[in-house]
Amino acid sequence: MSGLSEQAFEKLKTLSEIREGANSNSHLKEELIKSIKITQEFLENRTSRLSLHDLKFKIASPAIETEIDSLFESILTAESQLTINDTTLVELRKFHKLKEFIDTHCQIRQYSFQIKKCNNSECTICLPVELPIEVFDELHFLPDPEPSIADSNHYKDFSSIYGTQTSENFRPSKAGQLEADNLPQGIFNNNRVREFVECDFCGKIRCIYSMSALKKEQISTLQLKINDNDFTCGIEEWMPPSHELKGIVFIRQSLSCDSPIESGYYSNRLKKPPICYYCGKNNSLVEATDDLLHGYQSVYPLCSNCQLSGHSFHTWGKKKVGELTRKRKRE
C-alpha cells in the first residue's frame, strides 16, 4: 500500500469508517483489495488442504460486483425502495416489505441464511412452484443440530429432525460457550445495567453491565462502539483486547438470538419503553389480566404475534396468599 493510502487508512478507526473511506476513495479501495488478497489467498491455500471424513474443504470465491448487483436487483422485487447503500440490519429493518418477506420466506441462523418459496397464490414475489406439489411440500429448511436423547455426546440423525422445528441452542459453537472466567462476581445484576446494544442480526436489545457507573468519557467511548453496529448475540469478544473499555463493561455471552430480553431491560430505574419479552418488538402488545398483575411482582410484556405462536406472559416473583389478601383489602 502506498504512503498516501496508509496515511488515509490510519485515520479510519472503525469498520464503518473503513467502508465509507473505501467508497469515497477509489484508489484506497483498490489498494485495500490488493493488500487483503495476499492474506486471502494464503488462507484459501491452507484451508483447501483440510479434510473431514475424507472430504476436502471447498473454497468459494468472493462475490464480484456484477454478482452483487444481480442479487440486489432480485431483492428489489421484495422491496423497491431499498438502495444498495442500505447494508446493516438496523437500516434494513426500516423496510417493512423486506422484513415481512424475510419473516415469511426465510430462516436466519448464525452461519446460514435460507429462503424457500411460499406457494401462496396471492404472493407477488414468488413465481409458481414448478416441482410436483407433493415433492415441494417435503422440502424444509435445514435443521439445527440437536443432541441425541440416547447419547448426549452425539447429535440426532438428520432424518429424525428434518422437517421439525429446531433452534440454535445446541449448535457446536454455542454449546461450549461459557461466560468468561474473569468476570467480576455479581456483574450481571439489574442494578449494574449501564447501557444497551442492539443485535445486528435479530434486532433484540441486550444489556451492557459495569461494576460502577461510567464516567462521561467512558460513556462517549461506549456509544462510539455501539454505533459500529458490529454486535451480535453470543459474540465472544465484542470488545477487542486493546479497547479501553475491555474489562470495564460486559455483556452476556451465553445469549443467542433465540434468547428472550434480559430482565435488566425492564428495570424501573432505567424507564425504558415496553417491548415484548420474547421477540423484542414494541408493537401490538397484549394487556395483562388483573389476576396476573396482582399475582406476580413482575409481568413481562407480550406481543400478539408471540401469543399466537404459543407464548404466554413471562412472570417473576409469585406473591404469597397473605400478601394478595392485604393488597386487595387496601384496594
What is the structure's pLDDT at 197? 95
What is the structure's pLDDT at 321? 59
pLDDT at 255 over 50: yes
With contact defined as beta carbons under 8 Å apart, do 304 and 284 qualify? yes
User: Could you tell me the residue range of the domain that residue 135 belongs to?
Assistant: 88-142
Domain for residue 279, yes or no?
A: yes
Domain for residue 98, yes or no?
A: yes
Q: What is the mean pLDDT of residues 275-297?
A: 92
203 shares its domain with 261: yes
Q: Which residues contact 188 (CB under 8 A, 6 or more apart)?
A: 209, 250, 252, 264
pLDDT-based confidence at residue 91 (cuts at 50, 70, 90): confident
The last residue of one of the domains, among 234, 254, 272, is 272
- If we measure between CA atoms, which residue out of 292, 265, 226 comes closest to residue 90? 226
With contact defined as beta carbons under 8 Å apart, do 170 and 147 qualify? yes
253 shares its domain with 302: no
Most confident of the ranges 51-55, 147-151, 162-166, 321-325:
162-166
Instruction: Give the separation between CA 199 and CA 259, rounded to whole angstroms.
Output: 12
The helix (run of H) or strand (run of E) holding residue 249 is strand 249-250
Domain for residue 291, yes or no?
A: yes
Locus of grid cell 423497491: 80
Q: Which residues contact 277 (CB under 8 A, 6 or more apart)?
A: 260, 261, 300, 301, 302, 314
Query: Is this prediction's pTM over 0.95?
Result: no
90 grid coordinates: 438496523
188 grid coordinates: 450481571
The last residue of one of the domains, among 229, 245, 272, is 272
Q: Which residues contact 303 (CB under 8 A, 6 or more apart)?
A: 276, 278, 279, 281, 283, 284, 285, 286
Each residue of 220-240: pLDDT tens digit? 999 999 998 889 898 878 888
Q: Please tell me the total count of domains within the chain.
A: 4
Q: Which residues contact 5 (CB under 8 A, 6 or more apart)?
A: 27, 28, 31, 32
263 shares its domain with 311: no
294 shares its domain with 314: yes
290 shares its domain with 244: no
30 shares its domain with 11: yes
pLDDT-based confidence at residue 327 (cuts at 50, 70, 90): low
94 grid coordinates: 426500516
Domain for residue 127, yes or no?
A: yes
246 shares its domain with 191: yes
* Residue 190 half-sphere exposure toward CB, CA atoms < 13 A: 11
pLDDT at 331 over 60: no
With contact defined as beta carbons under 8 Å apart, do 115 and 106 qualify? yes
